[in-house]
C-alpha cells in the first residue's frame, strides 16, 4: 500500500516545528495547572518555578480556551491510525519531531518570560510505546534534574508502555493522563482500531494504585518521593460516535469512581483537516460539550448522582441544548419545589436553578442573621429571574409560576444573534 506522502517538506526550524506540533496538540482539552503540591524556588540559587495551588491562565485564545501550559507533541509521527486524530498514520499532515532538549529549552524560554505555568507534553507513537515513553520521561527528567524546574508538568502516558517507565513519569510529573478517547468500547474499536479499551483502563487502574501508594508513603515518611501530586485525568471525544449524553455521563461517573480521576475532559469533535471519511464532517454543537461540563459540575460539586443527571436527559438520552441540565432536572421534578431559602437544607438549595455553590454559602450564613426576603436573595445571587419560580421567602411564594406549563419557555435563554466580531 502506498505510504501517504507529506504535503510539503519536513520542517526544520524550531519555529516551524513549534507551529506543527502545537497545532497537532490543540485537540487535547486539558490545560489545568492547579491542584498540585505547593512548591517554589525561594532560597534556591538554581531553582526556577513555583506552583502555589491555584493555576494561572497566562493568555486566552479566541476559541475561549485558556493557555496555561506549553501544550505540544514531542512528535506527530504516529504508527497508530485513529480516525478522529489529525496525526493518524494515514493522515496527510506535515510531520515534525522535537528532540527532548529542544522541548526543554522552549519550556524554559517561555517560563522565564512568564508566558506559561509549565509543560503539557504528549506524543504520537514512534518506533514503539516504550521508546516514545522514554523520550517523554527524558524531557521531564531533564527539566526537573538538570534545570531545577519547579513549574507544572503534565505528561500524557502511553497505555501499553512499560510500567517502570510510566512510574518514572509519575515521579517527575504533576499530572499524568491517558485518554479513554471514546465513551463506548464499540466506538473505540471502530474509530481507534489500534487502541484497546481494556489496555487503557488497565493503565489507569495501575496509575491509581501507584498514586494511592505514594500518598500513603508521604503520610508515613516525610521524604517519600512525590508521585503525580495533581492526580490523573482523561479525555473523551464528543460527537464522533453515536454515544448519547446519558452514555457519556455514565461513563464519566464510572471513571471518577473507578479510577479516582481528578477530571474527565470533554472535547467536542472538531472537523479536522484531512479528516477520515468514517467521521461526521460537521461538528456537534459546542453547546453539547458545555452541557456535559455542566452535568460534570452537578456531579462533582452539587451532589447529584449520575443517575439523577441522566434523568435530565430526553428520550433520546441527550441533554437539552436550550436549557442547562440543572434547570432541566428541576422542571422534570417540580414537586421538589419551591424551596424555602430560610429553612431548607443545603442539599436542596443547591438544586435550585440559578443558585451556585457560592450563593448557597452566602444564603446559609446570612439567614442566621436575618429572615431573608426576596430582595435579600437578589443581593446574594446573580439573577433573581431564574431563581424566583423555585424559592419561597417570607414575602414571596411562586404559587402560580411553578405550575405553569410554559415555564420552560419563560426561563430558557432567549435566542441571540451570535456576535462573531464582538472582539
Partner 1 sequence: MNALQHVRLGTYYVAQLPEQDDFEFWRDRARALVQCDVPPDRIAWVPPGGNGDLFTHGERRAPVPPADAAMVRASKPFIQLARSAICHSDPDRFALLYRLLWRHQANPKVLEDRADGDVRRLDELARHVRRDIHKMRAFVRFRLVEDEAAQGGESEEHYVAWFEPEHHILRANAGFFTRRFANMRWSILTPKGSLHWDTQALAEGPPAERADAPAGDPVEALWRKYYASTFNPARLKVGAMLKEMPRKYWKNMPETSLIPELVAGAQAREAAMVDAGSIEPSERPDTLDAIASAIHSCRRCPIGELENQAVMGEGPRRAALMVVGEQPGDQEDLAGKPFVGPAGQVLDRFLQQAGIDREQTYVTNAVKHFKFTQRGKRRLHQSPTAKEIDICRWWLEGERALVQPRLVLALGASAARGLLGKTVSISRVRGAAQMLEDGSELWVTAHPSYLLRLEGPAREEQERLFAADLAAVAERLAELAQ
Give, as ranges, the residues between 133 and 162 that touch partner 1 (CB under 8 A).
148
391 bridge partner residues: 339
Span between the terminal Cα atoms of the chain, in Å: 48
Q: Which one, 77 or 408, has the nearer CB to partner 1? A: 77
Distance from C-alpha of 235 to C-alpha of 264, rounded to nearest angstrom: 6
Regarding 293 and contact with partner 1 (CB under 8 A), the answer is no
Q: Are 351 and 335 in contact (CB under 8 A)?
A: no
- Tell which positions 35-94 bind partner 1, by CB under 8 A: 40-50, 52, 54, 56-67, 70-71, 81, 83, 89-92
Q: How far is the CB of 51 from partner 1 (least distance, A)?
A: 9
Regarding 307 and contact with partner 1 (CB under 8 A), the answer is no
Q: Are 114 and 58 in contact (CB under 8 A)?
A: yes
- Tell which positions 102-121 bind partner 1, by CB under 8 A: 106, 109-110, 112-115
Task: Tell me the per-residue interface mask from 264 to 283 with partner 1, x by CB under 8 A, - otherwise.
Answer: ----x-xxxxxxxxx-xxxx
Regarding 342 and contact with partner 1 (CB under 8 A), the answer is no
Regarding 9 and contact with partner 1 (CB under 8 A), the answer is no
Q: Which one, 357 or 410, has the nearer CB to partner 1? A: 357
Half-sphere exposure of 128 (CA within 13 A, CB side): 7
Regarding 12 and contact with partner 1 (CB under 8 A), the answer is no
Regarding 7 and contact with partner 1 (CB under 8 A), the answer is no
Q: How far is the CB of 288 from partner 1 (least distance, A)?
A: 12
332 bridge partner residues: none
Q: Are 359 and 380 in contact (CB under 8 A)?
A: yes
φ, ψ at 340 (rounded to 5°): -80, 115
Size of the site for partner 1 (CB under 8 A): 90
Regarding 410 and contact with partner 1 (CB under 8 A), the answer is no
Distance from C-alpha of 380 to C-alpha of 358, rounded to nearest angstrom: 9
Distance from C-alpha of 125 to C-alpha of 74, rounded to nearest angstrom: 10
Q: Which of 195, 182, 196 is nearest to 81 (CA)?
A: 195
Regarding 101 and contact with partner 1 (CB under 8 A), the answer is no
Regarding 22 and contact with partner 1 (CB under 8 A), the answer is yes
Q: How far is the CB of 92 from partner 1 (least distance, A)?
A: 7
Amino acid at each position: 500500500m502506498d505510504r501517504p506522502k507529506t504535503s510539503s517538506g519536513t520542517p526544520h526550524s524550531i519555529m516551524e516545528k513549534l507551529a506543527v506540533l502545537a497545532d497537532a496538540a490543540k485537540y487535547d482539552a486539558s490545560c489545568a495547572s492547579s491542584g498540585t503540591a505547593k512548591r517554589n524556588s525561594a532560597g534556591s540559587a538554581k531553582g526556577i518555578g513555583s506552583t502555589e495551588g491555584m493555576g494561572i491562565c497566562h493568555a486566552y485564545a479566541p476559541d475561549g480556551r485558556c493557555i496555561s501550559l506549553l501544550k505540544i507533541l514531542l512528535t506527530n509521527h504516529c504508527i497508530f491510525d485513529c480516525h478522529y486524530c489529525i496525526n493518524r498514520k494515514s493522515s496527510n499532515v506535515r510531520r515534525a519531531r522535537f528532540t527532548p532538549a529542544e522541548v526543554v529549552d522552549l519550556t524554559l524560554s517561555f517560563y522565564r518570560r512568564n508566558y506559561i505555568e509549565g509543560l503539557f507534553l504528549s506524543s504520537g507513537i514512534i518506533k514503539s510505546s516504550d521508546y516514545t515513553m522514554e523520550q517523554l520521561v527524558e524531557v521531564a527528567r531533564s527539566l526537573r534534574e538538570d534545570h531545577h524546574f519547579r513549574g507544572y508538568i503534565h505528561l500524557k502516558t502511553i497505555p501499553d508502555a512499560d510500567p517502570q517507565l510510566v512510574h518514572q513519569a509519575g515521579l517527575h510529573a504533576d499530572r499524568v493522563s491517558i485518554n479513554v478517547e471514546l465513551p463506548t468500547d464499540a466506538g473505540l474499536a471502530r474509530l481507534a482500531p489500534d487502541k484497546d479499551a481494556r489496555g487503557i483502563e488497565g493503565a489507569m487502574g495501575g496509575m491509581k494504585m501507584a498514586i494511592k501508594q505514594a500518598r500513603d508513603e508521604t503520610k508515613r515518611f516525610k521524604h517519600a518521593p512525590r508521585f503525580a501530586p495533581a492526580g490523573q485525568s482523561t479525555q473523551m471525544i464528543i460527537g464522533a460516535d453515536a454515544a448519547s449524553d446519558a452514555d457519556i455521563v455514565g461513563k464519566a461517573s464510572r471513571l471518577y469512581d473507578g479510577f479516582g480521576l481528578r477530571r474527565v475532559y470533554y472535547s467536542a469533535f472538531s472537523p479536522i483537516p484531512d479528516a477520515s471519511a468514517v467521521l461526521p464532517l460537521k461538528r456537534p454543537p459546542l453547546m453539547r460539550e458545555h452541557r456535559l461540563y455542566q452535568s460534570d459540575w452537578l456531579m462533582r460539586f452539587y451532589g447529584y448522582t449520575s443517575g439523577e443527571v441522566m434523568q435530565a436527559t430526553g428520550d433520546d438520552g441527550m441533554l437539552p441544548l436550550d436549557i442547562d441540565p440543572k434547570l432541566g432536572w428541576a422542571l422534570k421534578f417540580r414537586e421538589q419545589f419551591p424551596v424555602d431559602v430560610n429553612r431548607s437544607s443545603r442539599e436542596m438549595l443547591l438544586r435550585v436553578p440559578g443558585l451556585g455553590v457560592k450563593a448557597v454559602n452566602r444564603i446559609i450564613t446570612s439567614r442566621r442573621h436575618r429572615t431573608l426576603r426576596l430582595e435579600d436573595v437578589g443581593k446574594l445571587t446573580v439573577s433573581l429571574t431564574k431563581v424566583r419560580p423555585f424559592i419561597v421567602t417570607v414575602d414571596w411564594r411562586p404559587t402560580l409560576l411553578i405550575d405553569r406549563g410554559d415555564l420552560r419557555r419563560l426561563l430558557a435563554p432567549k435566542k441571540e444573534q451570535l456576535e462573531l466580531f464582538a472582539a
